[in-house]
Amino acid sequence: MSRPRIGVLALQGDTREHLAALRDAGADSLPVRRRGEIEAIDGLVIPGGESTTMSHLLGDLDLLEPLRARLADGLPAYGACAGMIMLASEIVDAGANGRQALPLRAIDMTVRRNAFGRQVDSFEGDVEFAGLDDPVRAVFIRAPWVERVGDGVQVLATAAGHAVAVRQGPMLATAFHPEMTGDRRIHRLFVDMVRGDA
């Protein structure tokens, strides 16, 4: 497939930036809000935003189980920040006020929400990313980190002693927001994963 169809979950979060980054990286990108759209894509990006809100919108729109089923069947997915939280098999500090983020259980990992602190603690920094020659400028906004990875999960980048980018088969996740920089290498990696080239 020369230009795979990659959807961006468009319930909440920075959808537009991911759509543009995917187009720049060689994919046909489209927003995903309905069950039929989940069935019609070759890969999916779950953007940053608020994981509990996205989880509950997935449930309210009857998309949670169809999405879990497609992921279990091997649909490639990339989650950034809140998307990393949602792709996890287990979430530490899953929510407040009785609202919980619901894991999609696509990557065998335990993720801690808001691990680097509150919005005021957001920061940028360069991180070494496995397979890339030069560091990636990473934008961390109320970012999670990975506390445990299972067998078969490759750690691609670390910050402050914790995994902040991982891959398991066709699944990719970062605690940071590459769509907020001009660097398209991580989106290109995901497009290559969807094509079966990486």
122 is in an annotated binding site: no
Q: Answer yes or no: 162 catalytic.
A: no
Number of C-beta neighbours around residue 88 at 10 A: 30
70 is in an annotated binding site: no
Per residue in 105-136, is it b (16+ CB within 10 Å) or e — as a string?
ebbbbebbbbbbeeeeeeeeeebebeebeeeb
137 is in an annotated binding site: no
Give CA–CA dist 160/179, Å, rounded: 22
- Choosing from 17, 56, 179, 187, the catalytic residue is 179
Q: Answer yes or no: 177 catalytic.
A: yes
Q: Report yes or no: 51 and 87 within 8 Å, Cβ to Cβ.
A: no
- Choosing from 17, 18, 56, 177, the catalytic residue is 177
- Choosing from 17, 18, 81, 187, the catalytic residue is 81
55 is in an annotated binding site: no
49 is in an annotated binding site: yes
124 is in an annotated binding site: no
Q: Answer yes or no: 179 catalytic.
A: yes
List the binding residues: 49-51, 113, 141-142
Active site residues: 81, 177, 179
The annotation places the binding site for L-glutamine at: 49-51, 113, 141-142
